[in-house]
């Protein structure tokens, strides 16, 4: 005699296999009486499964989408397929930066049977992702470790390789993971420096929990912190420009990963944009194709004026 919970799982699996079943068919497939089937159907409805019934000799039961998510029954192949799909969504950022796929994958991997988890690890080792625009790759395993560090609310020891290839080990208080559409960033408080930092997730070599609980006080907005660090951090020169666009339109023209924005009245936005040199910044600004104004520095303003004159001269008749 199987337990009631196992019987319910079996009944859900059978119901999901085709659009409709008679009570007699369900009783035969699950090895119980029709009375037990009706009682189990009532129990499934109580815990959230939307099981519809049709009266009459040709009627039966069918499973439809409900108003809330009930317990989900997956066999080995289905669980593996869902895990692979979630991993791909997390790595590609296909669902945006809300981390929904990563969070779901973290929950799923915590409850996967060992035999399925091992198959997923084998696939992780075999798959190769072609990075977009030569971006570095990051494994789903490291993403899950970083996500788990954020969820645990405890200090972690981070082995990190910086942009110059130097390896360091530091204690951090994890906060959030942020996806910019190009890369994943790990936002955490550097304990020794007592400041909030952004770490490129693909440069994290190891993250180890310390068991020391932490309570973050007044943490920063992680998306804004990443935006500021990626927009101007790696560049030797920063230009301040005024766009004749409201903030929402300015963000579409110059993404938050490229510039730091602040509104300047209802119809304009001031943006700080990093670049390698005045000429490079002038070329980027010219490509925006809007009547912007360079507020600072003068070298970028002069380079933009020179490029504009050259463009006009090339269009004039000989």
Task: Identify the pLDDT of residue 180.
Answer: 72
Task: Identify the pLDDT of residue 126.
Answer: 59
pLDDT tens digits for range 16-47:
777 788 898 899 988 899 999 999 999 888 87
Q: pLDDT category, 244, cuts 50, 70, 90?
A: very high
Q: pLDDT category, 291, cuts 50, 70, 90?
A: very high
pLDDT tens digits for range 157-216:
999 998 778 899 999 999 988 877 667 889 999 999 999 998 988 899 999 999 898 888
Angle (CA) 91-97-99 rounded to 5° is: 70
Task: Identify the pLDDT of residue 50.
Answer: 84
Q: pLDDT category, 67, cuts 50, 70, 90?
A: very low
Task: Identify the pLDDT of residue 1.
Answer: 45
Q: pLDDT category, 11, cuts 50, 70, 90?
A: confident
Q: Which residue has the higher pLDDT, 291 or 119?
A: 291
Domain 4-64 fold: Arc Repressor Mutant, subunit A (1.10.10)
CATH number for domain 235-315, candidates 3.30.70, 3.20.20, 1.10.287, 3.30.1560: 3.30.70
| Distances from the Cα of 289 to the Cα of 77, 117, 232, 276, 307, angstroms | 51, 51, 22, 20, 13
DSSP 110: H
Task: Identify the pLDDT of residue 125.
Answer: 60
Task: Identify the pLDDT of residue 295.
Answer: 94
Tokens coding 176 = 């959030």
Task: Identify the pLDDT of residue 157.
Answer: 95
Task: Identify the pLDDT of residue 207.
Answer: 93
Task: Write out the H or E segment, with its range, that includes residue 25.
Answer: helix 23-30
d(CA 180, CA 273) in angstroms, rounded, equals 16
pLDDT tens digits for range 47-63:
778 888 887 666 688 88
d(CA 43, CA 33) in angstroms, rounded, equals 15
* Residue in 183, 157, 181 with CA at minimum distance from that of residue 169: 157
User: In this predicted structure, which of 90-99, 100-109, 144-153, 214-223 has the lowest mean pLDDT?
Assistant: 90-99
Residue 69 pLDDT > 60, yes or no? Answer: no
Angle (CA) 95-99-100 rounded to 5° is: 70
Task: Identify the pLDDT of residue 116.
Answer: 76
Task: Identify the pLDDT of residue 117.
Answer: 76
Residue 7 pLDDT > 80, yes or no? Answer: yes
Residue 80 pLDDT > 80, yes or no? Answer: no
pLDDT tens digits for range 121-160:
766 665 555 555 455 567 767 877 888 888 888 899 999 9
Q: How many CA atoms lie within 13 A of 83 on its CB side?
A: 27
Q: pTM for the full model?
A: 0.49
The answer to whether 290 and 243 have CB atoms below 8 angstroms apart is yes
């Amino acid at each position: 005699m199987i337990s009631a919970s196992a019987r319910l799982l079996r009944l859900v699996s059978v119901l999901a296999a085709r659009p409709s079943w008679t009570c007699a068919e369900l009783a035969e497939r699950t090895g119980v009486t029709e009375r037990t089937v009706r009682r189990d159907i009532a129990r499934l409805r109580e815990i959230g499964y939307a099981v519809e019934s049709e009266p009459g000799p040709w009627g039966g039961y069918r499973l439809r989408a409900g108003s809330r998510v009930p317990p989900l029954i997956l066999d080995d192949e289905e669980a593996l397929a869902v895990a692979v799909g979630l991993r791909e969504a997390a790595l590609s950022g296909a669902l945006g930066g809300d981390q929904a796929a990563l969070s779901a994958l973290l929950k799923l991997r915590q409850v996967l049977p060992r035999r399925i988890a091992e198959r997923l690890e084998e696939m992780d080792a075999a798959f190769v992702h072609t990075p977009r625009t030569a971006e570095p790759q990051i494994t789903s395993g490291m993403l899950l470790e970083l996500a788990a560090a954020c969820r645990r609310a405890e200090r972690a020891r981070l082995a990190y390789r910086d942009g110059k290839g130097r390896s360091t080990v530091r204690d951090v208080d994890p906060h959030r993971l942020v996806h910019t559409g190009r890369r994943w960033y790990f936002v955490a408080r550097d304990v020794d420096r007592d400041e909030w930092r952004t770490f490129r997730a693909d440069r994290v070599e190891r993250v180890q929990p310390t068991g020391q609980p932490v309570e973050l006080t007044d943490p920063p907005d992680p998306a804004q912190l990443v935006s500021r660090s990626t927009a101007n951090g790696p560049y030797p020169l920063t230009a301040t420009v005024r766009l004749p666009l409201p903030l929402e339109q300015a963000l579409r023209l110059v993404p938050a990963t490229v510039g730091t924005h602040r509104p300047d009245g209802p119809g304009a936005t001031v943006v700080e944009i990093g670049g390698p040199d005045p000429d490079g910044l002038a070329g980027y600004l010219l490509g925006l194709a809007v009547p912007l104004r360079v507020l600072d520095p003068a070298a970028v303003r002069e380079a933009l004026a020179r490029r504009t004159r050259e463009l006009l001269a090339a269009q004039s008749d000989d």
